[in-house]
Chain A
């Protein structure tokens, strides 16, 4: 019998970039096929070809043995291919049932019968969804379930999931992977896109590894070796990677844990009033209410000592963004105070915060960390243009030379300092941001918010190498991340942020992983 989906020699070019180069793979019924690869390897492009968003430049697709050339998502859906995207397409103000009815309403809407079908499906696959709740009130995991139900209602032959676990808290990942198995067991094919090896080990029947648009390995899991998969995916040996970078792939690090801090932390727990003046950061009872009056941060007290990395764990949307914005001086806390190196910075403007020795790697590299239309040099020195000004005129050459030096030091790869920031890869953009923020003198405190989001493993490696280097020199670091494994590997202590409150503190050791995970989901440890 022909495989459910067969791709033969698919090639897709965007301008001069070859995103996919002769990719062949097949997905069978009853099979979970994992597509593994780094950011930029071509995974999303492949999904887009299957879902009809783009058309291949060469090669052929066969669905159940018949030629399959979708010219749009509607074609793919009609042919029995459904896809769960990274970004959900749900209307937050509508209920679950209303969302599911969208786009499926021909003639009379039979809401009650429809609701019944939703519950039936949910029961069949063990998906808990309340059809009458507003989507806006659901957690990310619940919204994803709604998306999946939406796909399953079409009774597809093939279900494609694009990085579905990236948005989930640790507890919910297991449930999602179990669901993939159930869907496959019902006679469908599942194509699961991921860059985490650990997930593959738990769910895949077969795995195809993409690197730079080509298939570099395709193995059945029965005879797969994790180490060789890593090597195939990143093109280098696991041992040569920073342990945190290895962790970010979801494999156990082979190397010992991060070097202990050179600076010996003072005992924690002494009251704020008696803290030594040299604490890198003190947040004292920070509170923040947004314009709508919702309390986003509530009595957040955090102390970061010099040379210490304190991790903030939590599912996204629990106050991390607000915390980052307040420390960066982009939002004013409604309660509490901020001290850096003993100096009060509450409500001070960003220029003063920078001058006090606070480096910020913002969560949103594009909106806050850099300006895509401006050059690398301008981005690096936007706050220090005065250094390059004579008689009011900007000395472009001096600016570009200084930028070139930083680019060399931080290995920022670009055509030159004049290149617009947006032309750089995500990893190089982040390195440019690091170059700007880590070269502050003095650097008393560093906020690193989701510093590796969307980066490939080489860049993750570089980012943590840099962060550790400044820690060695005595900078205190607050690391906000939704990747628990990364936090565990990089931090000394971990605080858990849930609904704007610090709900727990633990030493960053792997044995606390489960306890932290359940705190993140709002369960007391």
Chain B
């Protein structure tokens, strides 16, 4: 379908604004409109809900910092997604890569990293988290090359394994669970020691904004340049378009498949480590809470552009913060918050497909 076959209204509007910009904005507005209707249906005062939503996103330095931090995790997963996707690989395993990366970063931070010199105490757990994610992603690549296993299936199943291992690690005192002091002791790890936590960027003590945003910026530039300007990017694209023709041209397609998923996994694992060392400080089961899947959506909607990943990640980061505030301070049921987020995703995805398909041809 092309722009020319889109509805007349859309076509007329497209004359004044570039459609790829306009359509997602319209989609968001439509989703928010539907969301307001849903909130009203639950009996929550609509104004209070909207105020809480706004407040959660940009109402305070805390809100802004937390939103950006959320965007960092989403951006890293999204960047990994577009990197692998350049080779026509779909990494669905972001969630598991985050979970494993966070778990191993926690273990390293709790088991000795704190006594390392200042910079290393932060860097070593981060690197360990990224390496773990890399292994978890690369494994799917090896399975694909050696056994022809579809990476969508393998990354998803590896995610379930990772989530359950994290669950086990915080349940078992032999692993990461904090020592039981009473019946009320929660199944979670000890707090990460202060030297292993990411330094914050803002002078305002209420802002949680940490150096993860700088790491994400570096990753954005690296992935963007690699995909758009390097020989590696051309080779990945070639492998994604035609394995056979690439192999004939002397490209080691199998190695590139493994590399692509390894990089995607490393970025996911790094996101997990950053979440733990940046803000959470305590490992709990399910701490990844959908960031991997939201990151996948961010990657999908960006159509391969690293800049678009950042924009989408920030958008979803703010949206999440607003949703959480709406839930906590306005009492909108969590299910409704999730539903509104889902609506936004579907409508934006739909609008991107509507406006983008014409460009593909």
- A residues near B (Cβ < 8 Å) are 328-330, 349-351, 354, 360, 362, 367-374, 378, 382-383, 385-386, 388-389, 392-394
Is B248 within 8 A of A368, CB to CB?
yes
Interface: B264 (CB within 8 A) = no
Stretch among B49-57, B195-203, B229-237, B327-335 lining the A interface: B229-237
**Complex: how many Å from CA A374 to CA B246?**
11
What distance in Å separates the Cβ of B239 from its nearest Cβ neighbour in chain A?
10
**Complex: how many Å from CA A328 to CA B247?**
10
Which single residue of chain B is at the shortest CB-CB distance from A382?
A: B249
Is B251 within 8 A of A383, CB to CB?
yes
Interface: B153 (CB within 8 A) = no
Given A374-B241, A392-B231, A393-B231, 16 extra CB contacts under 8 A: A328-B248, A350-B249, A351-B250, A351-B251, A360-B248, A367-B244, A368-B244, A371-B238, A371-B245, A374-B237, A382-B234, A382-B235, A382-B245, A382-B246, A382-B251, A394-B231
A residues in contact with B246, CB < 8 Å? 371, 382
What distance in Å separates the Cβ of A383 from its nearest Cβ neighbour in chain B?
4
Is A374 within 8 A of B238, CB to CB?
yes
Which residue from A330, A373, A386, A393 sits with its C-beta under 8 Å from B248? A330
Is A350 within 8 A of B248, CB to CB?
yes
- B residues near A (Cβ < 8 Å) are 225, 229-235, 237-238, 241-242, 244-252
A residues in contact with B232, CB < 8 Å? 392
B residues in contact with A368, CB < 8 Å? 242, 244-245, 248
A residues in contact with B235, CB < 8 Å? 382, 385
Is B225 within 8 A of A393, CB to CB?
yes
Is B252 within 8 A of A349, CB to CB?
yes
Is B241 within 8 A of A392, CB to CB?
no
B residues in contact with A370, CB < 8 Å? 245
A residues in contact with B242, CB < 8 Å? 367-368, 371
B residues in contact with A382, CB < 8 Å? 234-235, 238, 245-246, 249-251
Which single residue of chain A is at the shortest CB-CB distance from B247?
A: A350
Given contacts A371-B242, A378-B238, A393-B225, contact A383 B249 (CB under 8 A): yes
Is A367 within 8 A of B250, CB to CB?
no
A residues in contact with B252, CB < 8 Å? 349, 351
Is A367 within 8 A of B245, CB to CB?
yes
Is A392 within 8 A of B230, CB to CB?
yes
Given contacts A393-B225, A393-B230, A394-B229, contact A330 B238 (CB under 8 A): no
Which single residue of chain A is at the shortest CB-CB distance from B237?
A: A374
B residues in contact with A362, CB < 8 Å? 248
Is A369 within 8 A of B245, CB to CB?
yes
Is B230 within 8 A of A373, CB to CB?
no
B residues in contact with A349, CB < 8 Å? 250, 252
What distance in Å separates the Cβ of A203 from its nearest Cβ neighbour in chain B?
39
Is A393 within 8 A of B229, CB to CB?
yes
What distance in Å separates the Cβ of A421 from its nearest Cβ neighbour in chain B?
10
Which residue from B230, B247, B249, B250 sits with its C-beta under 8 Å from A394? B230
Given contacts A350-B248, A350-B250, A370-B245, contact A386 B231 (CB under 8 A): yes
**Complex: how many Å from CA A368 to CA B238?**
12
Query: 9 closest Cβ contacts across the A-B interface?
Result: A351-B250, A383-B250, A382-B249, A385-B231, A383-B249, A389-B231, A371-B242, A394-B231, A371-B241
B residues in contact with A330, CB < 8 Å? 244, 247-248
5 A-B pairs (CB sep. < 8 Å): A330-B248, A368-B245, A369-B248, A371-B238, A374-B238
B residues in contact with A383, CB < 8 Å? 249-251
What distance in Å separates the Cβ of A106 from its nearest Cβ neighbour in chain B?
37
Is A378 within 8 A of B234, CB to CB?
yes
A residues in contact with B233, CB < 8 Å? 394
What distance in Å separates the Cβ of B324 from its nearest Cβ neighbour in chain A?
41
Which single residue of chain B is at the shortest CB-CB distance from A352?
A: B250
Is B241 within 8 A of A373, CB to CB?
yes
What distance in Å separates the Cβ of A449 from its nearest Cβ neighbour in chain B?
12
**Complex: how many Å from CA A354 to CA B245?**
13
B residues in contact with A354, CB < 8 Å? 250
B residues in contact with A328, CB < 8 Å? 248
A residues in contact with B251, CB < 8 Å? 351, 382-383
B residues in contact with A371, CB < 8 Å? 238, 241-242, 245-246
B residues in contact with A367, CB < 8 Å? 242, 244-245
What distance in Å separates the Cβ of B247 from its nearest Cβ neighbour in chain A?
6
What distance in Å separates the Cβ of A418 from its nearest Cβ neighbour in chain B?
13
**Complex: how many Å from CA A370 to CA B248?**
9
**Complex: how many Å from CA A125 to CA B211?**
83
What distance in Å separates the Cβ of A347 from its nearest Cβ neighbour in chain B?
14
What distance in Å separates the Cβ of B361 from its nearest Cβ neighbour in chain A?
11
What distance in Å separates the Cβ of A386 from its nearest Cβ neighbour in chain B?
7
A residues in contact with B234, CB < 8 Å? 374, 378, 382, 385, 394
B residues in contact with A392, CB < 8 Å? 230-232
**Complex: how many Å from CA A221 to CA B52?**
87
What distance in Å separates the Cβ of B43 from its nearest Cβ neighbour in chain A?
53
What distance in Å separates the Cβ of A491 from its nearest Cβ neighbour in chain B?
24
What distance in Å separates the Cβ of B5 from its nearest Cβ neighbour in chain A?
15
**Complex: how many Å from CA A369 to CA B238?**
12
B residues in contact with A386, CB < 8 Å? 231
Among B230, B244, B248, B250, max chain A CB count under 10 A is at: B248
Among B233, B237, B247, max chain A CB count under 10 A is at: B247
B residues in contact with A369, CB < 8 Å? 245, 248
Among B235, B242, B251, max chain A CB count under 10 A is at: B242
Which single residue of chain A is at the shortest CB-CB distance from B225?
A: A393
**Complex: how many Å from CA A378 to CA B242?**
13
A residues in contact with B241, CB < 8 Å? 371-374
What distance in Å separates the Cβ of B225 from its nearest Cβ neighbour in chain A?
7
**Complex: how many Å from CA A74 to CA B232?**
50
B residues in contact with A378, CB < 8 Å? 234, 238
Which single residue of chain A is at the shortest CB-CB distance from B226?
A: A392
A residues in contact with B225, CB < 8 Å? 393
**Complex: how many Å from CA A383 to CA B245?**
10
A residues in contact with B229, CB < 8 Å? 393-394
Which single residue of chain B is at the shortest CB-CB distance from A367?
A: B244
**Complex: how many Å from CA A389 to CA B226?**
12
B residues in contact with A372, CB < 8 Å? 241
**Complex: how many Å from CA A256 to CA B107?**
82
B residues in contact with A351, CB < 8 Å? 250-252
A residues in contact with B230, CB < 8 Å? 389, 392-394
**Complex: how many Å from CA A222 to CA B231?**
62
B residues in contact with A360, CB < 8 Å? 248
B residues in contact with A373, CB < 8 Å? 241
**Complex: how many Å from CA A125 to CA B231?**
61
Among B235, B237, B244, B250, max chain A CB count under 10 A is at: B250
Among A329, A369, A378, A393, max chain B CB count under 10 A is at: A393
**Complex: how many Å from CA A354 to CA B241?**
21
Which single residue of chain B is at the shortest CB-CB distance from A389?
A: B231
Which single residue of chain B is at the shortest CB-CB distance from A391?
A: B230
Which single residue of chain B is at the shortest CB-CB distance from A385?
A: B231
**Complex: how many Å from CA A385 to CA B231?**
6
**Complex: how many Å from CA A301 to CA B267?**
51
**Complex: how many Å from CA A383 to CA B253?**
12
What distance in Å separates the Cβ of B230 from its nearest Cβ neighbour in chain A?
5
What distance in Å separates the Cβ of B218 from its nearest Cβ neighbour in chain A?
15
What distance in Å separates the Cβ of A385 from its nearest Cβ neighbour in chain B?
4
**Complex: how many Å from CA A392 to CA B233?**
10
**Complex: how many Å from CA A350 to CA B243?**
13
